[in-house]
Amino acid sequence: MDALLQMLSEFVKIKPTMCGATKCMHERAEELQKQHPIWHGKDGKYYARVDVEEDGIRKRKLVKRSREEDLREYLRNYYRGRLWQAEPGFREWYKKWIEYKQSEKEILPETATRYWNDFKRFFPEDEPILCQKPMVQITERDLTEFVKGNIKSKRLSAKGYGGLRLIMIGVFGYAKEHDGTDIEIHRFFRELQIGKKSFAHHPKSCTGEVFSKAEVARLLKYFWDHRETTANLGLMLAFHTGMRVGELAALKCGDNIRPNVIRVGRTEIKYYDHERERVITTVKDSTKTASGQREVIIPDDAQRVLDYLKEGRSPGDWLLTRDGERISARMYNFHIKYACRELGIPERSTHKIRKTYASMLLSSRVDDAIVQNQLGHKDISTTRSYYYYNIEGEGTIAHRLNDVLTYA
């Protein structure tokens, strides 16, 4: 019997690749039942012993049937049940998939961290539809219930749904390649009926997405007046260059390659190291995207800030430091919000500085190619769709409307 249990374990680990998950399961159960010892009793009945668990206690159970074929069918069902229980679930397949992606260097550490955050959000251990059963038992009806239920209960936007869909396609696709499921996940999502009105829409106001021209002027004055705090000078550069905060935090003195030009070629990244169980912050020698590798033209005011920061420094030094240490990206968010509070204006993050920069260029009709290069975007449509907001103050807009909407 121990040999049969060992074989059961090996069957779970090694799966034939010429059949689907369900067919393989039946074939393995058939093979196991054939090798299970049975005997013909003096009473004419057929007997076998199997392991069962009752009230948390493992026992040996004697099973008897009048016909040998009936006993064989019982054993088939017994091994099918055991094999189902031994099958990995969705969460185990996620770990296999993400480990494979990382081992093949198909994703960056920060991408894996983003996947992990979405995974924790959508697939907690107590999730009842996908995470409480073996992967091979999950049906397309389960998937439909899970997806539509999450869209409704979590009020997912189209972007949030995209994150959920990406993980499901990755995990089910990987499991399908390894006979862990029969579901064709790409076909499932193509045929899934979800209307655009199903997604939550979170309207954004201009005042929350960008700084007005008047607010920018006040902030720039505040930063220069408090330039003893190096992070404030970094924020001045952010307003003048539109750089991502990770790019700003990774600048070195030598990146000011010539007057009024900054070369952007590094960025700060954060990722969760599962082995050390901590978040790692470091700088990598590439940008978020290939388009991010660029030379940014800067105005004279920004060059003066750079000259101030570089004085007496070597090209290899970090540009923005505090007590000799590089200032991390998260500190700029702290300082911009602190400055907003000091000036009595609504708090916003450093990403709103980037949107403000883009909006100022586009509203001033700067050529699309220039805007695209300055921001490091692959497509100008990205800039116009997600970064372009009105930067006039409400008072200015009201004054203009009063002039336009005169019916007398």
Residue 13 pLDDT = 45
Dig out the tokens for 20 from the structure: 């689907």
Q: Are residues 82 and 96 in the same domain?
A: no
How many CA atoms does the CB half-sphere of 354 hold within 13 Å? 20
Rounded distance, CA 360 to CA 337, Å?
21
Yes or no: say if 147 and 138 are a contact pair by the CB < 8 Å rule.
no
Q: Are residues 51 and 124 in the same domain?
A: no
**Domain presence at residue 403:** no
Residue 126 pLDDT = 92
Q: Are residues 355 and 246 in the same domain?
A: yes
Last residue of a domain, one of 60, 86, 112: 86
Q: Are residues 117 and 46 in the same domain?
A: no
Q: Are residues 68 and 117 in the same domain?
A: no
Residue 338 pLDDT = 97
Yes or no: say if 118 and 163 are a contact pair by the CB < 8 Å rule.
yes
Q: Are residues 183 and 214 in the same domain?
A: no
Which range of residues forms the domain containing residue 63? 2-86
Q: Are residues 114 and 165 in the same domain?
A: yes
Nearest to 49 by CA among 2, 12, 8, 101: 2
Dig out the tokens for 390 from the structure: 């009105």
**Domain presence at residue 404:** no
Give the amino acid at 106.
E
Task: Name the DSSP letter for residue 134.
Answer: B
What is the pTM for the complete model shown? 0.66
Residue 273 pLDDT = 83
Yes or no: say if 259 and 266 are a contact pair by the CB < 8 Å rule.
no
Q: Are residues 76 and 115 in the same domain?
A: no
Residue 80 pLDDT = 74
Report which secondary-structure segment, H or E, holds 225: helix 213-225
**Domain presence at residue 19:** yes
**Domain presence at residue 168:** yes
Q: How far is CA 62 from CA 49, 50, 66, 285, in A?
A: 5, 7, 14, 66
Residue with tokens 């699309």: 368
Q: Are residues 295 and 379 in the same domain?
A: yes
Between the CA atoms of 25, 26, 29 and 33, what dihedral angle is there, to the nearest 10 degrees? -170
Residue 1 pLDDT = 47
CATH (domain of 320): 1.10.443.10
Residue 228 pLDDT = 95
Dig out the tokens for 5 from the structure: 């249990």
Per-residue pLDDT tens, the chain, 408 aa: give them: 455 545 555 544 434 433 456 666 678 778 888 889 999 999 999 999 998 887 778 889 999 999 999 999 988 888 777 766 667 899 999 999 999 999 998 998 889 999 999 999 999 999 999 998 889 889 999 999 999 999 999 999 999 999 999 999 999 999 999 988 999 999 999 999 998 889 987 666 556 789 998 999 999 999 999 999 999 999 999 999 999 999 999 999 999 999 999 999 999 998 888 778 788 899 999 888 888 899 999 999 999 999 999 998 899 999 999 999 999 999 999 999 999 999 999 999 999 999 999 888 888 888 888 888 998 888 887 777 766 666 655 555 555 545 555 555
Dig out the tokens for 249 from the structure: 């935090």
Last residue of a domain, one of 198, 220, 240: 198
Task: Measure CA 48 to chain center.
Answer: 51
Task: Measure CA 82 to chain center.
Answer: 35
Last residue of a domain, one of 37, 67, 86: 86
Q: Are residues 322 and 383 in the same domain?
A: yes
Q: Are residues 47 and 187 in the same domain?
A: no
Structurally, the chain folds into a number of domains equal to 3
Dig out the tokens for 82 from the structure: 């055991």
Residue 391 pLDDT = 60
**Domain presence at residue 372:** yes
62 SS3 class: strand
Radius of gyration of the chain (CA): 31
Q: Are residues 190 and 225 in the same domain?
A: no
**Domain presence at residue 407:** no
Residue 82 pLDDT = 75
**Domain presence at residue 406:** no
Residue 399 pLDDT = 53
Report which secondary-structure segment, H or E, holds 311: none
Residue 12 pLDDT = 47
**Domain presence at residue 399:** no
